[in-house]
Amino acid sequence: MMTGQTATPDRALVRIDTEHCKGCDLCVVACPHRNLRLSSGYNRSGYHPVEFHYRGDRGECTACGLCYWVCPDYAITEVAKLRP
Amino acid sequence: MIENEGTLYETKLGPLPTLTSKPTHYCAGCEHGTLTHLIASALQDLGVRERAVLVNSVGCSVLAPDYLNVDAVEAPHGRAPAVMAGIKRARPDLLVFSIQGDGDAASIGLLELMYAANRGDPMTIFLVNNATYGMTGGQMAPTTPIGMVTTTTPRGRDLALTGPPIDASKLVASFERPAYVRRVFLPVTPTPSTEFFNARGALEGALAVRHAFEVQERGGFAFVEFVSTCSVNWKMSVLDSKRYAARVLAPLFPEGVLRDRFLLESA
Ligand SMILES: Cc1ncc(C[n+]2csc(CCOP(=O)(O)OP(=O)(O)O)c2C)c(N)n1
Ligand code: SF4
Ligand code: SF4
Ligand code: SF4
């Protein structure tokens, strides 16, 4: 099941499967712009799933894909770039 | 291509048909899951899913066939290399691979690993070295560092009593025939003086997995060791386990290409 789609302000889009996320923090610490954070809510397994959050001071999401590659639960299901 | 609120986006990375939709049983933050994703990605890129056969180990990766969309055979504990050798002889057209723990490959199955390496049979072995027996609750493994507290070494692993940790990559590379031997540090790595962790390990790992399949396609024996963590049995938080791995395991099991007969690394 695919849930919890979140978009960045402009340039990129990251899709998160919030039911597969285990809130391990790896994508949070690996994102060079700190654009991901654990949400305060719960998923059905009782984890705080990741949500996209544009912090603003380090730049927008660049669709670099680091969150996609580090996630052990492949819960970052899609990384997309704005069509030129 | 996806549309979101009227804007069009081009997919750079997406869901993989080589993965099932089943949630994994792996603990949060475990490299077993990361490796599953890397393998799925390589199988997809190389277009070999239909020919791929996972020969399964015993350990936390025992449920890997639930997550990878490939055919699978369960081997007795540690014996995946022997089973792969048999499959490959009967059906050389298939692509065989194993995901083995350090207890599986470097303890109970060490002999099968050594003989397969000595023969240089075409196969691909992925070793998840988390320095412990994960599935059974954190006993000392052959790869446990000296001093590490485990359930069977409550005062820390004792050098005089158990000898030093086994270096599986070096051992495999000591044989003449393996075509590809590489060790990758898979966890995210803390960067000094910043709040960030470096994700280079996963990117290097993706490349190593790909090469390990390509080597088998050329008739070679490929072995990739992934230095990993086991936060639950190390009794640490996920991020502390990454810090421990960087501090203790990285110097003990240094990264590197120990063999690259087909020169894939420089290509
Ligand atoms: C023949 C046999 N002996 C012992 C066991 C118990 N056993 C299950 S998993 C395991 C070791 C798992 O450790 P490792 O291979 O390092 O994999 P991990 O779970 O850490 O990934 C053992 C000893 C077994 N299942 N079969
Ligand atoms: S794609 Fe890169 S910049 Fe965007 S959220 Fe993921 S890690 Fe951060
Ligand atoms: S790495 Fe994956 S499982 Fe961990 S917090 Fe991020 S999305 Fe969730
Ligand atoms: S017990 Fe350890 S190796 Fe097994 S899934 Fe959990 S963290 Fe990973």
pLDDT tens per residue, range A12-22: 889 999 999 99
How confident is residue A2, by pLDDT bands cut at 50, 70 and 90? very low
Distance CA B2, CA A54 (A): 20
- Please tell me if residue B197 touches chain A, with a CB cutoff of 8 Å: yes
With CB atoms and an 8 Å threshold, state whether A80 touches B12: yes
Residue A8, both tokens: 């960045």
- Please tell me if residue B188 touches chain A, with a CB cutoff of 8 Å: yes
Query: For a pLDDT cut of 90, what percent of chain A falls above it?
Result: 67
Radius of gyration of chain B (CA): 18
Number of Cβ within a 10 Å radius of residue B102 = 26
Which residues of chain A approach chain B closer than 8 Å at the C-beta? 1, 5, 7, 12-13, 15, 19-20, 22-26, 29-30, 32, 34, 45, 47, 63, 65-66, 68-74, 77-83
Q: Supply the pLDDT for residue A5.
A: 53
Distance CA B111, CA B92 (A): 23
> For the complex shown, is ipTM > 0.90?
yes
CB of A13 closer than 6 A to ligand 2? no
Cβ pair B60, B101 in contact under 8 A: yes
Ligand closest to the CA atom of residue B234: 4
Q: Which amino acid is at A73?
A: D
Q: Supply the pLDDT for residue A1.
A: 33
For residue range B45-66, list pLDDT tens digits in order: 999 999 999 999 999 999 999 9
The number of residues in chain B equals: 267
- Please tell me if residue B202 touches chain A, with a CB cutoff of 8 Å: yes
Q: Is pLDDT above 50 for B177?
A: yes
Average pLDDT over residues A47-69: 90
pTM for the whole structure: 0.97
CA-based nearest residue in chain B for residue A18: B23
CA-based nearest residue in chain A for residue B27: A22
Radius of gyration of chain A (CA): 12
DSSP A69: H
For residue range B18-35, list pLDDT tens digits in order: 999 999 999 999 999 999
* Residue B87 Cα distances to A9, B98, B102, angstroms: 51, 12, 23
Average pLDDT over residues A52-66: 86
Number of Cβ within a 10 Å radius of residue B207 = 15
Q: Supply the pLDDT for residue A6.
A: 57
For residue range B189-234, list pLDDT tens digits in order: 999 878 899 999 999 999 999 999 999 999 999 999 999 999 999 9
Q: Which residues of B touch A44 (CB under 8 A)?
A: none
- Please tell me if residue B11 touches chain A, with a CB cutoff of 8 Å: yes
For residue range B124-167, list pLDDT tens digits in order: 999 999 999 999 999 999 999 999 999 999 999 999 999 999 99
3-state secondary structure chain B: CEEECCEEEEEEECCCCCECCCCCCCCCCCHHHHHHHHHHHHHHHHCCHHHEEEEECCCHHHHHHHHECCEEEECCCCCHHHHHHHHHHHCCCCEEEEEEEHHHHHHHCHHHHHHHHHHCCCEEEEEEECCEECCCCCEECCCCCCCCCCCCCCCCCCHHHHCCCCCHHHHHHCCCCCCEEEEEECCCEECCCCCCEECHHHHHHHHHHHHHHHHHHCCCEEEEEEECCCHHHHCCCHHHHHHHHHHHHHHHCCCEEEEECCCCCCC
